[in-house]
Structure 1
Amino acid sequence: MSQYRVLFAKEIMGVPFMVGTVEITRARNPERAQRAAAIRFARHHGVEDWRERADRIELSALPDRDG
């Protein structure tokens, strides 16, 4: 299982501003990590859909912490 950091940003006048970040410690693939982060972000902000607070998602893999 891989670890990911997912950044959420709101674009204002063409400039992205980070509005939140979520770390996913175990995901089978990047798509599942992104989906889990989107759900967690929405719940944290009390909205139905993450797009109510952000315009973009940027996903990056984190190095394994095992061993």
Structure 2
Amino acid sequence: MPNYRIDFAKEILGVPFTIGSVEIQRARDPVRARRAAELRFARQHGVSDWRERADLALMAARS
């Protein structure tokens, strides 16, 4: 199973600034990895939805 890294960024004047990232060690597919990362990021920042802190979630598959 591939590893995934999801970077969360805030976009200011069209430029994305990374404010955090989450690594998912095991996921069946990229959709599940992204959902798991969104939930983990929200919990880490004490919010109910990750979009309260970030504008973008960018994924990169890692082997």
Q: Tell me the equivalent position of 2:62.
A: 62
- Where does residue 18 of structure 2 map in the other structure? 18
Taking structure 2 as the reference length, the TM-score comes to 0.97
**TM-score using structure 1 length:** 0.91
Which SS does the other structure have where 2:26 is aligned?
A: strand
Following superposition, which runs of at least 4 residues in structure 1 exceed 3 angstroms of deviation?
none
Q: 2:4 maps to what in 1?
A: 4
Unpaired stretches in structure 1, ≥5 consecutive residues? none
Offset, 1:2: 1.7
Q: What 5-or-longer segments of structure 2 have no aligned partner?
A: none
RMSD: 0.5
Q: Secondary structure at the match of 1:26?
A: coil
Alignment match, 2:28 = 28
Q: How many residues align structurally? A: 63
- Of structures 1 and 2, the larger Rg is shown by 1
Question: What is the identity, as a one-letter code, of the residue corresponding to 2:17?
Answer: F
